[in-house]
Chain A
């Protein structure tokens, strides 16, 4: 069955890192540029993320995600570059359209910020199996029931999209139009979504009964199927991150005192 998660199954040092280390990286990579307040920090972390992604051999997989946000970022650059309040210094003139320095710099900040968030999250998303993530949280104390809910979403959604494809084909073979004017497309929406939704909601009742029969509601402490593996590289990585964070905190305080 097709999985919807972006996880890439490879055997690299990044894949072997504990999900918590990667979460710590996300926090540090996004907090330090905010603390230090300059673009150099953001760019540095983007570079570090790219390096980590290359070690994990998943760098190419960030392309679709960047494309997704890329379109919005381009419009941000255009709109902020031309129209931002307080635009004063023209930098580029294309015909009758003027791009201003302040707007472009502002757009640059936004773009770097978004790319930094995307890259740091990609490390987590592309190299961690969703079930491992959920298991980490459950070990930390998240209720196993919520853990189940999160894991099951990854299974249920591919089922639902397959059902949707089948139902779309069935309706189209019965003469339903899915292309054309807006009204036509709107009218197509309900006959497509109702069967899928009804189907999945009715199976939730059966799923609830099935789970309860298997002890889902029991208050006994649950045990884990897989063993916990703590590696040296995890500890080194986490220690390095915390060290960099403390250094930048110190740097910020020093800047503030100057």
Chain B
């Protein structure tokens, strides 16, 4: 039996049902970060986890639906940042599928890659919407310093986003990886994409 391609659009019930749970985890991560006053967003843990479990397509869907729900319940500006979430889901899915999230070190490295993707996509949106700022205290402080030092706006905004994204995405990937490792096999088996038949002898 051949392994299905990671881009196969076969969305079975288990994958679809994963999406609300992942959006819920995103929501809770965001709430916790706010309640504990952590300087991170932590709103992509669910997306990365769903991508690890079920691949880039589900990760992308998770990201999109996540921002649509945020738009309806918290802040309409989230609708516009949906592209960024989708790309995070895709990146995490590809990394997980290729086996790049297997241990703590590889999880950190993958988190760095995801942070890079997120920065690349979010920076143009930040520049268009807010003139380059991100709304995060430390990031915007760095942005102010860069602008005062006459650095070009795409660099200032990129650094602003990167300096928040690296800790945020590395932490999110580590947390998602930790949760993934602790999940019972009867759950993870639902999402294994290959048609391999396991035999007992």
Binding site for B on A (CB under 8 A): 4-6, 65, 68-69, 71-73, 75-76, 79-80, 83-85, 106-107, 110, 113-114, 117-118, 121-122, 125, 130, 133, 145-146, 148-150, 152-154, 156-157, 159-161, 164, 178, 182, 185-186, 188-190, 192-194, 196-198, 200-205, 207-208, 211-212, 216-217
Contact = CB atoms under 8 A, between A and B. Distances in A.
Interface of B: 11-14, 16-21, 23-25, 27-29, 31-32, 35-38, 45, 61, 65, 68-69, 71-77, 79-80, 129-131, 133, 135, 140, 143-144, 147-148, 150, 153, 175, 178-179, 182-184, 186-187, 190
A79 B144 contact: yes
A153 B135 contact: no
Nearest to A155: B20
Given A75-B133, A79-B140, A200-B21, A6 B28 contact: no
Contact of A211 (B13, B21, B183): B13
A164 B133 CA distance: 32
A6 B70 CA distance: 10
Nearest to B135: A72
Given A73-B130, A83-B147, A190-B178, 18 more contacts: A6-B72, A65-B75, A75-B135, A83-B144, A114-B130, A118-B76, A145-B16, A157-B20, A157-B23, A160-B28, A164-B32, A193-B45, A197-B28, A201-B21, A205-B14, A205-B190, A207-B17, A208-B14
Contact of A121 (B35, B71, B129): B71
B76 A208 contact: no
A4 B23 CA distance: 13
21 contacts: A65-B75, A68-B74, A79-B143, A84-B147, A114-B77, A148-B16, A152-B17, A156-B24, A157-B24, A157-B69, A160-B24, A178-B36, A186-B36, A189-B36, A198-B183, A200-B24, A201-B183, A201-B187, A205-B186, A208-B13, A211-B13
